[in-house]
Amino acid sequence: MTDYPSLTITALGNKGSGKTTFLLGMYADLSAGRKGYFLNATNPDADLALASKWDKLLDDGVLPPPNLADNIPYEFLFLDGTRPLLGVDWLDYRGGALEDEVGAASGDVPELHKRLNKSDTIYLVVDGGYLVRPVENHTRAGIMRMGGLRRMTSLLQTAIRAREASGDLAPSIVVLITKADLIPPARRDPLDEMVDDIQQLLSVCFADGLSTLICPVMLGHFGLNPEGKVRTSDIAPHDLHLPIIFSLAEYMHQLSLAASSAAAISAQRLRDLDTHLSGLRTGAGAFFRRSSIAEKSKERAAAEEEYKSLDVVQQVAAKRAGALFGELEGLPLFRDGREVSR
C-alpha cells in the first residue's frame, strides 16, 4: 500500500444500516471489473473472505451477521486494467460503535474516531427505510435520532474541524442511501424529493467547502425488515460501485486542481528565472558571469521539466476525473451546497 497514493474511506452508519452488505456487494461488483477499472484486495485471504460471504448471499440468501467489536481493516487497490492507480483503505466495524463512548470496554471506538479524522471520503449511510415517505416536520427529529443522523452530523463536523486544523482538505461526502428498494419508484426517479429530504436531514453536507454526492443503492428487493435470509431470486444489486467511483473522481479532480496550481507556480518560477537570466546576460561583465549563467540555465531546464510534468499530471487527472464523473450522470452532486450534477 505504501507504493501508491492511498484513499482512506470510512462509511458511517447505524447498526443494521447495511454497511457490511454494501461493502460485500461493492467489492463483488468492482473486483469483477467495470469499464476496465477494478478493485482488488491486496490480501488474497481478504479477497476470498469477501467473495465467500457474497457467494453465501447469492447461493443461500444469507445476509452477513452483525459485526462484533472488531474493526476489520481492508486494503484494496483500484486498478486501471492491471495498472494500480490508488490504494483504498477501508474499515468495517459495528454500527453501535458510533454511539459508544471512546472509553467503552469494547475497545473499538478510539480507532474509529482517529480514522475519521484522516478519511479522504466519508460515506454517511442512511437506511432507505427512513425515506419511504417524504420527511415532514413531525418526522424529522425521529428519523434523525433513529437513523443515527444526528450523531453522524456531529462526528462529521468534528472530523472536518480536525482536518482543517492539520491543513487537510475537507473530506468528500457520499450520502449513501441503502435499501433503496424500499423507496417507492416515484420518489427514486426523479430524485428531487429525496434530495430535499436529505438536505433537511443532513444539512451539514451542503455547507461551504464540501463536495457531496447523493447516491441511492440497493442489493435487491427484500422489503421491510427481511429475516437473516432473503430469497436469492430477489437479489438484484444496483449502483453499488458508484460511491467509490465518486471518491476516485473527487481525488482525480483535486489532483488536477493541485497540479494546475503547482504548474502555475512553476510557470511563474520559469518566468522569474528567464528575467534573472536575461539580467545576467545583459550589460557589461556578462563574460565574467558565465558560471552564474550556466547554473541558472540548469535551474531553468529543471523548472521547465517540472512545469511540463505537472501539466501532464493535470491533463491526465482532469481526463480521468471527467470520465469517472461521467459514470455518475444523473446523480445529485453538490459543491458548496450548490448542485453541479451533470
Partner 1 sequence: MNGHLAWQPVLYGRTLRADKWWRVLPPNVDVRWLNALMIAATGSGDSLSDAPRMLMARRGNVVLVGAACWAALLSKGMNSDGNRPFYCFVGWLSPDPDAVVPSLEALQERWVPWAREVYEGWMRVDWNKHPSDLTNAHEPPFGAAPWTGTVAELGATRDAIRAPQRASIPASGRITVVPVEAAGGAWLDLFESAGDFAIAGPFEQPVADSAGILTHIVANVSRADSAGVIPARAPDPAKMPAPEQAGPPWRDSADQRMSDSQPRESPLPPPPAMERPPPPAMERPTGHEPHRRRFRDKAGRAFRSLTGAQEASYEDDINDPRTDRQEAEDPSHGPAKDLNYWRRQHETAPDSRSNKEPPQLG
Q: Give residues 149-168 in contact with partner 1 (rule: CB under 8 A).
A: 166-168
- DSSP for 71-140, written as a single string: -EEEEEEEEETTEEEEEEEEEE--GGGGGS-TT-TT--HHHHHHHHHT-SEEEEEEEGGGGSS---HHHH
- Whether the CB-CB separation of 135 and 200 falls below 8 Å is answered with yes
Rounded CA-CA distance 261/6 in Å is 21
- Answer yes or no whether residue 291 interacts with partner 1 by CB under 8 A: no
Among 47, 75, 193, 274, binds partner 1 (CB under 8 A): 274
Specify the pairing of strand 235-238 against strand 218-220: antiparallel
> Is there binding between residue 316 and partner 1 (CB under 8 A)?
yes
- Strands 121-127, 218-220: pairing is unpaired
Note whether 60 binds partner 1 by CB under 8 A: no
Taking the least distance from each CB to partner 1, the nearer of 167 and 185 is 167
Q: Which 224-263 positions form the footprint of partner 1 (CB under 8 A)?
A: 225-228, 251-252, 254-255, 257-262
Question: Applying CB under 8 A, which of residues 137, 165, 282, 284 lies at the interface with partner 1?
Answer: 137
CB of 226 to partner 1, least distance (A): 6
Cell numbers 474511506 correspond to what residue? 9
Task: Check residue 55 for interaction with partner 1 (CB under 8 A).
Answer: no
- Does position 5 interact with partner 1 (CB under 8 A)? The reply is yes
Question: Binding to partner 1 by residue 15, rule CB under 8 A?
Answer: yes
**Pairwise CA distance, residues 90 & 218, whole Å:** 20
Binding mask 165-204 for partner 1 (x = CB under 8 A): -xxxx--------------------------x--xx--x-
Q: Judged by CB under 8 A, which of 209, 223, 326, 330 binds partner 1?
A: 209
- Is 19 one of the binding residues for partner 1 (CB under 8 A)? no
Nearest distance from residue 274's CB to partner 1, in Å? Answer: 5
Residue 97 makes contact with partner 1 by CB under 8 A: yes
Q: Are 92 and 23 in contact (CB under 8 A)?
A: yes
Binding of residue 342 to partner 1 (CB under 8 A):
no
Contact segment (CB under 8 A) with partner 1 among 74-82, 138-146, 187-195, 240-248 equals 138-146
Q: What whole-number distance in Å separates Cα of residue 177 and Cα of residue 109?
A: 24
Taking the chain, what is the end-to-end CA distance rounded to the nearest angstrom? 33
The whole-angstrom separation of Cα 180 and Cα 265 is: 46
Decide: 29 and 224 in contact? Cβ < 8 Å: no
- In the complex, minimum distance from the CB of residue 142 to partner 1, in angstroms, rounded to a whole number: 5
